[in-house]
A and B are shown apart, each in its own frame.
Chain A
């Protein structure tokens, strides 16, 4: 078992000061009360010393005792016990079975002569029940067999308050409140002297060993148990701490938190109450007294008095940490919580946790280290600073002083072991990644993120990119240098971008694509750049690299113009500038014009014509020889046709000129159609191309949105063409029949019938004729209904007219024009159906002046 240095043993009273050279005189008992040290001797003397403590820098202290007085009490017997009652300024002296009260300073017995007789041993109640500050409670083992007596001791009198008998002869006693803890002949018991109730603790053998009963705190005692055990027991008879393991023949025990100190013939042993481990052993021969007085532990041989000076807890903890005993250090620190002011404790404890964390870290116990760092609220930079070059050069961090660990850096810690180093780095990576978004990072986000970036870059870790594309605080100069060093150019570009240096970013990436620098992070870097430029709002940047991207690939490169986010359109690029730029990139130009014309529907003649011309050129290029005519319509040709049909903006005649003679009949037909030259168009379709369904579609296309007569006209034209005299072929006849049957409604049947050759069978045109006849009948019927309705309406008007004519109108001076309210001067007037009379000119003006009051309408 490793040991701790918890105490140092220093001499307090040299034997010369005591009995000089009197060989046969021994120290019998000791008492210490603040600075007063009393020693009782075997020849009946009491010595009084003043103890002066002098602290030493190492955390220990030396003591010098100055003798004040010595006095003989007049007994021939040894002084067997001394107890100070400082509140009363009295010293209780047990000598010759009698307890005498003497003045603490003069050592004179009280004048009243008060004393307790018949005492074998005594114990002071440190948890008194009376509450009287001028009285101490003393408990004695009486000379009477199996009897304990309780006394109240005042300044100059004593008073017995209780006498209890015990089942066996008591050998040792301690007291707390009403509870006596007694060592009887065969067992330890707790006895409540107030109620008489007793509780067995455990048996022991008084013949074999000297019992120890020691009050260690409120309601708790320490007892010497079987097998050299130091047993803890509460007044309830329960053990709340595990026992400590002493040697078999312990003479005395004392407490100095958190330690239990025991004395035997050879050694002083120190055990921790926190983990029951033995912590220290001090050789000490012939000791026979070990007692603690208000935290001061005194040990004595028969000739000299010594003090066990505890090392400051912090020193002990540091010693433990120095020997890597983390668990023990933490237990000791935690145990000290109640002995140290809260604020001070927290600072200390936090530091210890951090130190412990570094110890675990150095042993690569990362899980434990992390937990300790976390609970110790470690400044992350302490950890980062262990790794060479990770902290930014501008970081203001300096390690805490005194240092939390002994390592200069990771190299020293791992002694150059690369595997260990890698493990440490992996740990730091995960740790920083965990804390960077927590409050631990507050204030040093730059340091953390920069360190993390460096680690990722060095380890070629995927998270490097994630770090850079999300919110981060990586410091530019430091990170840039590092990324460059590790050839992480793509990441460097991201860093530049994050720091609003897009130009630098793109230039880097371009260099990578061009092969000027090497970084294989992304195989699709070119596409990435295009995408980046597409979404960049920096026009200058886009212009700067437009040529480059287009040179690489026209189709993809043009996306920087065509795929721009739609919400950017305000103050966006001028299409003409772009067109100018694309002059040398025909494919890109087409794509862009398509974007303008088709996607953005820009209604500008130039674009439409330009696109049409480009299509035309492409089409012509594709079929230099008109050999496989009409075999397959290329994609471009389809696009060209679609544009010609859909767009109304291009210059038709201009294109017509170009198309003519180029062997593009379909395109010509469409252009003719655009010029309303349906005859020509249909002629091409029917006679040149023999595309009858195309001809039908043409009719439908051109009559779209027009009135029915126009449409009829168109279909008739087509029909006429089919039926026109000439080298008529069965094909055309069939086409004509199909046209009639499929589009019966588009024709005027009467006209058609005149056109049709008489040889055709009715059967052939059945669908057309049935439709036409049905249509005709329908028309007749609706017309008849309309006629009937009109007739009846006419009748109603006639009736009205007759009614009006039936009465006369008398015109007199009194009659006034309803419009102008003037009398009529002429016999001419206008009469409204409601009977109102007006001047003719008023009636006429009524129609021109809408504001005039309306006298009524005829209908």
Chain B
């Protein structure tokens, strides 16, 4: 088994669609999924790098495993369901603390999934005003309920995370760049999400390599992390 060069972890409440997002991206399909037990991962070859993408179990029962999965992660995708506001709240309450073990310059992406279930108009008008054309796109099929969580809520969470991590907004990618609204069912924005992240992760891998970290972390010589000036993808 090849050692992955970087790790991306999907976190989020149960039933927000983490597994579906990953399967949509990796296998180009949207099968019925069952509740993930424990976790699973895929290896993705991106240019010359192997990136492992971990799908975690959202169930409370497996919550304790989150820290271990996140350990050393290069990027974390916090996933919520745009139609279920509590799932966004859970990200802050339950999942954010799991990311303490991630790499010090870990990237965060906030992803609102299942946009196909909400009303198109809301999505579009909001996106036009707030996010520009990159995130725009109509993919909904039938009359839907209005979207329960707006993208600005995700942006607000992103900024909270930066505060929590004591990061300067100038050192990390802008919130607009890191908040996505996706549909694993239609594939809307799924490729964009993963590939944007891969492109951001690659320079981090190179930087880590340049710093010559050992293949295994030697916790005996553990030093408080010194934050490097992170100019990634500025």
Contacts and interface: CB of A to CB of B under 8 A. Distances in A.
A225 B38 CA distance: 9
Contacts of B68: 201-202, 231, 233, 237-239
Interface stretch (A190-198, A341-349, A515-523): A190-198
Given A201-B68, A229-B37, A237 B62 contact: no
A199 B69 CA distance: 13
A204 to B, nearest CB: 7
A194 B220 contact: yes
Question: Interface SS of chain B: helix, strand, loop or mixed?
Answer: mixed
Contact of B219 (A192, A227, A229): A192
A195 B39 contact: no
A700 interface: no
B11 to A, nearest CB: 14
Contacts of B216: 219, 234-236
Interface string B209-226: 000000011011110000
A242 interface: yes
B38 A178 contact: no
Contacts of A239: 39, 65, 68-69
Interface string B62-86: 1011011101100000000000000
B51 to A, nearest CB: 14
A197 B217 CA distance: 12
Contacts of B54: 242
B219 A236 contact: yes
B49 interface: no
B228 interface: no
Contacts of B39: 239, 242-243
| Chain B interface residue number, banded | 20 to 34
Contacts of A204: 64
Chain A: interface size category? 20 to 34
Contacts of B48: none
B69 A226 contact: no
Contact of A231 (B41, B65, B217, B219): B65
Interface hub of B71, B216, B221 (most chain A Cβ within 10 A)? B71
Given A202-B64, A227-B38, A227-B62, A236 B220 contact: no
Interface in A210-225: 219, 225
B61 interface: yes
A235 B3 CA distance: 15
B222 to A, nearest CB: 6
Contacts of A200: 67
A258 to B, nearest CB: 10
A227 B57 CA distance: 11
B67 A227 contact: no
A209 interface: no
Nearest to B221: A195
B40 interface: yes
Nearest to A227: B61
A708 interface: no
Interface in A238-254: 238-243, 245
Contact of B72 (A201, A233, A238): A238
B37 A236 contact: no
Nearest to A218: B216
B71 A226 contact: no
- Name the residue among A190, A231, A237, A242 with the largest chain B CB count within 10 angstroms: A242
A347 to B, nearest CB: 23
Nearest to A243: B38
B72 A236 contact: yes
B232 to A, nearest CB: 22
Interface of B: 1, 3-4, 37-41, 54, 57, 59, 61-62, 64-65, 67-69, 71-72, 101, 216-217, 219-222
25 contacts: A192-B220, A197-B219, A198-B219, A201-B68, A202-B64, A203-B64, A225-B65, A227-B57, A229-B38, A229-B62, A234-B216, A235-B219, A236-B71, A236-B72, A236-B219, A237-B71, A237-B101, A239-B39, A239-B65, A241-B1, A242-B41, A243-B39, A245-B37, A245-B38, A276-B40
The 7 closest A-B pairs by CB, nearest first: A243-B38, A195-B220, A236-B217, A203-B64, A229-B38, A202-B64, A242-B40
